[in-house]
A and B are shown apart, each in its own frame.
Chain A
Amino acid sequence: MMTGDAEAEHEKARRFRDAALPHLDDVYALARYLMRGTADAEDAVQECYLRALRHFDSYRGPAMKPWLLTILRNVCNAEFARRGRQEVLTETGDDDAAPEQSPLWQEPAASPEAALLRRHDDETIRGLVAALPQPFREALVLREVNDLSYQEIAQVAGVPVGTVMSRLARARSMLRSAWNVAESAMPGAVS
C-alpha cells in the first residue's frame, strides 16, 4: 500500500512540476547571463529547482517566475561566494561602487549622430549584454529577457524599485555606448 506520506509527496511533486517547470527556460536564460559558462549555468538551474522543491511547501506566492529567479540568484551568489570571486551580485544597492567607469565604457555623447542605432545580430547583442557589469546586467536581463515588471525585479534583486529604475537607466546608457562602438563580430563576454 502506498502510504499517505508517499501520496502527499507525489501530489506535491505533481503540483511543483506544473507550477515550476514551465519557467525552466526563463531560469536557464538568467543563469546563462549570470554564470556565463554553460555547465555552471546548468548546475545552478538544477540547484535552484532542488531548493525550490524543498521550499515549495512554504511557497505562498507571489508569482512563480520571480520566486524561482530569486532562488536562482541566491544560488549564483552562493557559488560566487564559495569561489571567492569578486563578482557578487550586490544586494546593497551601492551602485556607485560598481565599475561603471570601466575603460570599456564612455558616457554617451549627446551628439545627433549618436541617435542612429547600429543594427546588430542577436549574438552581438547577447555579447554586449553579457559584458555589462553587475548589477546592471542582471537588472537589464530581468527586464528585457525575463520580461519582469519593475516590482518583480526589485523583489528578485532585493532592492527598492527606485534602485531598479536607476540601474536600468545606467545599464541602458552603458549598453548604448558599447552598442555603437561594437563591431558586429564582437567577442561574447569580457571576464
Chain B
Amino acid sequence: MNCAECEVLLHALIDGELDAGHARDVEAHVNGCAGCAEKLKVFRAMHDAMAKADLKDKAPAHLRSRIEAMLPVPPAQASAEIIRPRQFLQPSRRSFFGGFAVGTALSAAAAATLMFTVFSSDRELTVADEVVSAHIRSLQPGHLIDVETSDQHTVKPWFDGKVDVAPPVIDLTAEGFTLLGGRLDYIGGEPVASVVYKRRKHIINLFVAQRLGTSHANVTDRTVQGYNVRHWSAGGLDFWAISDLDPAELNEFVQKISAAFRGNPS
C-alpha cells in the first residue's frame, strides 16, 4: 500500500468501514510511515472532537407541528365506524349495536337521539386521543414550549394571530402551578393554543380552542394511556387539561383555572 491509498483508506478505518484484511494493511503501512501515522492520529482526533460536539440542530416544534398537520387525520365528524385500538370503547360500541337491534321498539326520535349521543361521544373520544398524542409529543425534548416565560403578559400576546382565540393565560405560581410558557399545537388539523404549566416534575398542558370536542360546562374526567384528562367548556371556549399529575391535583388545577377564568375571562 502506498501513501496515496493509505490517505483515503485511513478514513474508512476511523469510520469502522474497513474489513479486517484492509484494516491490517492500513495498520501495517501506518506502522512503517511516520507521515501517515501522523495523519491517522490527527483525523482520529478530529473525528472524536466532532462526535463529542453538538453539530445537529433539532427540528423546531413549530416545524414538527406543520408536518403533523399535513398528515391526514380522521375526519372530525367521524362515525362510530372509526377504527380505534382503545379497549374501553368496545363495550359502548356493543351497546350501541345492541340498542340498534331492538331499535324497532324505539321511536325514530329516540333512535336519532341515541345515535347523536354515540356520534358526539365518539368525537369527544377522538379529540381526547389527539389531546393525549399532542401531550406526549410536547414532552419530547425541545418541543414543549414555543415561547418560554413565566410572565403571563408575554405568553398571551404571543398567541395573537396564531390561533383564532385569545386563550386565558393565568399565573398560578402562588398556587404551586408554575407557568412555563405557550405553544402552538395542532389537534384534528386545527391550530390550538397550549398553555404549559408545571407542578414539581409534572407537566400540564392546557389546550384552549373555540371548539374542541363536545362542549359541556361540567368537567369531564377520563384517563387515557395513563394520563389524566379533563375537559370543560366556559365562556365560548373548550379547555382540555392533561397531565400525569395525580387526579386530585389535576382537579385542583382545573378548579383554579376555572375560578380565575370566571373572575377575569379576558
**A interface residues, Cβ below 8 angstroms from B:** 1-2, 6-7, 9-13, 16-17, 21, 24-29, 32, 42, 45-46, 49-50, 53, 110, 112, 114-115, 117, 119-122, 125-126, 129, 143-145, 149-150, 165-166, 168-169, 172-173, 175-176, 179
Contact between chains at A13 and B71 (CB < 8 Å): yes
Q: Which of B38, B43, B64 contacts A110 (CB 8 A)?
A: B38
| Contact code string B217-235 (vs A, CB < 8 Å = 1, else 0) | 0000000000000000000
24 contacts between A and B (CB under 8 A): A2-B78, A2-B82, A6-B72, A13-B71, A13-B72, A17-B71, A25-B57, A28-B63, A29-B58, A42-B60, A42-B63, A46-B66, A49-B70, A110-B38, A117-B42, A121-B53, A144-B50, A149-B17, A165-B9, A165-B12, A168-B15, A172-B43, A172-B47, A176-B46
Q: Which of B15, B42, B57 contacts A32 (CB 8 A)?
A: B57
Asked if B108 is at the interface (CB within 8 A of a chain A CB), the reply is no
Q: Which of B15, B41, B53, B71 contacts A125 (CB 8 A)?
A: B53
Q: A2-B79, A21-B67 are in contact. Are A143 and B49 (CB under 8 A)?
A: no
Q: A7-B83, A117-B42 are in contact. Are A144 and B71 (CB under 8 A)?
A: no
The 6 closest A-B pairs by CB, nearest first: A28-B59, A29-B56, A122-B53, A117-B45, A13-B71, A13-B72
Contact between chains at A166 and B8 (CB < 8 Å): yes
Contact between chains at B55 and A144 (CB < 8 Å): yes
Nearest chain B CB to A116's CB is how many angstroms away?
8
Contact between chains at B8 and A115 (CB < 8 Å): no
Contact between chains at B82 and A125 (CB < 8 Å): no
Cβ < 8 Å to A, chain B residues 67-84: 67-68, 70-75, 78-79, 81-83
A27 to B63: give the CA distance in the assembly, Å: 12
Chain A residue contacts of B68, Cβ below 8 A: 17, 21
Q: A1-B81, A46-B66, A176-B43 are in contact. Are A112 and B56 (CB under 8 A)?
A: no
Q: Chain B, interface size: which category?
A: 35 or more
Contact between chains at A143 and B74 (CB < 8 Å): no
Q: A2-B81, A50-B70 are in contact. Are A144 and B51 (CB under 8 A)?
A: yes
Contact between chains at B54 and A27 (CB < 8 Å): no
Q: A2-B79, A2-B82 are in contact. Are A45 and B73 (CB under 8 A)?
A: no
Q: Which of A17, A45, A166 contacts B59 (CB 8 A)?
A: A45
Chain B residue contacts of A25, Cβ below 8 A: 56-59
Chain A residue contacts of B83, Cβ below 8 A: 7, 10-11
Contact between chains at B46 and A175 (CB < 8 Å): yes
Closest to B78 in A: A2
Chain B residue contacts of A53, Cβ below 8 A: 70-71
Chain A residue contacts of B98, Cβ below 8 A: none
Contact between chains at B49 and A49 (CB < 8 Å): no
Q: Which residue of B9, B54, B57 has the most chain A CB atoms within 10 A of its CB atom?
A: B57
Asked if B27 is at the interface (CB within 8 A of a chain A CB), the reply is no
Chain A residue contacts of B47, Cβ below 8 A: 144, 172
Chain A residue contacts of B53, Cβ below 8 A: 120-122, 125-126
Chain B residue contacts of A26, Cβ below 8 A: 56
Chain B residue contacts of A117, Cβ below 8 A: 42, 45-46, 49
Chain B residue contacts of A166, Cβ below 8 A: 8
Chain B residue contacts of A126, Cβ below 8 A: 53, 55
Chain B residue contacts of A1, Cβ below 8 A: 79, 81
A165 to B109: give the CA distance in the assembly, Å: 74
Closest to B137 in A: A21
Q: Which of A50, A122, A149 contacts B54 (CB 8 A)?
A: A122
Contact between chains at A9 and B35 (CB < 8 Å): no
Since A46-B67, A172-B43 are in contact, a sample of 20 more A-B pairs with Cβ atoms closer than 8 Å, ordered by chain A residue number, is: A1-B79, A6-B72, A10-B72, A10-B73, A10-B74, A21-B67, A24-B59, A25-B56, A26-B56, A45-B63, A125-B50, A129-B55, A144-B47, A144-B51, A144-B55, A145-B56, A168-B11, A169-B8, A172-B11, A176-B46
Contact between chains at B11 and A165 (CB < 8 Å): yes
Contact between chains at A125 and B55 (CB < 8 Å): yes
